Amino acid sequence: MDKKIFTVLLFSLVTRVIYLFFDKNIWWDAAVYLAMGEHIATFGQLGFWEPIRPLLWPFLLSYAFLFELNPIILGHIFSTFFSLGVIYLTYFIAKKLFNEQTALLSSILLSFTWIFFLFNARLYTEIPAVFFGLCAYYFFLQEKHFETGLCIGLAFLTKFPMGILLVILGLFSIRKIKNTFYLLAGFILITVPYFMFNYLAYGSPIEILFFAQEFLKYAGIWIFQEPWWWYLFALIKENVLFFFAIPGTVFAIYKKRYSLVAIFLLILIYLSQMDHKELRFTILLLPFIAIIAAYGYHKIFKESFSFIVIVFLLFSIPLSVEDPIINEYFSYFEEKQTNGEILVTHPLAGYYAHKNVTIMYYPWFNASQAEYWEEYIKVKNPEYISLDTCEGGFLCSPDDQLCEEKQKSLVHSINESYIIEWQKDLGNCKYFIYKNTK
């Protein structure tokens, strides 16, 4: 390993480790993956399950519960390893496709783009998924097609949209049927257990994938819906140096780096056509746009110092640590002895319970779900209900009047049968722990 990329990796590691000491917040999806990991490790005795989630990341987190390690710390170790792996693979691929200077600039640009840095601490799936995606592209460039298929399978099992690489790299391999065969064989070999599990658990190997797409259309869509062009401006707003991906794309095509350009553009198009948009999804294409932008900049200016200075200036502007979420609501059941069922509207409350909880928010909250839970509570009489009014799991779409009516009916029914054991107001948000009085 040459000194330049070693220095980038070392500085990336140090800054990430330091940041982890200050940012200890666990966001929604991370709580889900942690709880699923516990569910796997205890064979369904603890935690909870969301069928629409890819299984590789929760499976990795399950090792913490199997060996009685701290799952959050182990998750951060995994995430940091994947993050550094992404940076190194970006450098290696850029060096192979272009030159060492482009490789250095792209690795620095990627490492210190804020969204990529931040999500090293989030325990989400984007960074592990793009790591496996880059491994696939690395093997593709080495003309190792079976290994390419294996890595695409791992990327897919970490985050489903990364399956698009199977189509892209499959098309670039189609000139030789043997290469396509090996690529598909690798993908099938690694994903067959997942599809078999789906068939045994849900009655269909692929139906859950279509449901996952449906989920993105409805779950909190009024919060995340953006126009098709949103990512174009969001990326440049995230780091103005990504603007150089425009000339960089032209230069890359001229240099016949078609596969790189295809991966970047087709992932961008795929994300853009979805109504549900979040900046974190761009992590899936960040290494590719970083390489192209760095190449575009280097072709135009022929120097590196200004580029590196701009990267660190842009990185330092949003540099901050999110205030810790100090709310006993989420950890209420952590040390509490309970005997009956616990219903939760937020996965973090479910994770900290370390019990087999029932999630009320899945797949998404609406009028029919409100009716279902009102009847469920009357029949099942759960011991506790953990409910909040603004974290996402108990919200109605602003234009869904029927949902709001059914939600009020559900709350009224709960208040008739349960006592409020704990309550907290934070701004407009209200948090309740209800206990069954029967």
What residues does 422 pair with on adjacent strands?
433
- Kindly report the CATH number that applies to the domain delimited by 328-436: 3.40.190
Q: Sign of torsion, CA 126 129 130 131?
A: positive
Which helix (DSSP H) or strand (DSSP E) does residue 342 occupy?
strand 342-344
- Give the pLDDT confidence of 6-15 residue by residue, as tens digits: 999 999 999 9
- DSSP characters over 392-434: STTPPPTT-HHHHHHHHHHHHHHHHHEEEEEEEEETTEEEEEE
Q: What pLDDT does residue 40 have? A: 98
Q: What pLDDT does residue 78 have? A: 98
Q: What pLDDT does residue 249 have? A: 98
> Contact, 183 vs 153, CB < 8 A?
no
- Give the pLDDT confidence of 59-87 residue by residue, as tens digits: 999 999 999 999 999 999 999 999 999 99
Q: What pLDDT does residue 67 have? A: 96
- Give the pLDDT confidence of 254-305 residue by residue, as tens digits: 999 999 999 999 999 999 999 999 999 999 999 999 999 999 999 999 878 7
Q: What pLDDT does residue 61 have? A: 98
Q: Is 356 helix (H, G, I), strand (E, B) or coil?
A: strand
- Give the pLDDT confidence of 122-148 residue by residue, as tens digits: 999 999 999 999 999 999 999 999 999
Q: Pick the more confident residue, 150 or 399.
A: 150
**What is the average pLDDT value for the chain, to the nearest integer?**
94
Instruction: State yes or no: pLDDT of 175 exceeds 90.
Output: no
pLDDT band at residue 322 under the 50/70/90 scheme:
low
> Contact, 40 vs 58, CB < 8 A?
yes
Ranges in the chain annotated CATH 3.40.190: 328-436
Q: What pLDDT does residue 97 have? A: 98
Q: What pLDDT does residue 410 have? A: 97
Amino acid at the residue 193 = P
Residue 216 burial (CB count, 10 A): 16
> Contact, 47 vs 356, CB < 8 A?
yes
Share above pLDDT 70 across residues of the chain, in percent, rounded to a whole number: 97
What is the arrangement of strands in the sheet containing 418-426, beginning at the earlier edge strand? 358-359, 342-344, 384-388, 429-436, 418-426
- DSSP characters over 374-385: HHHHHHH--SEE
Instruction: State yes or no: pLDDT of 385 exceeds 90.
Output: yes
Q: Quick one: average pLDDT of 366-374?
A: 96
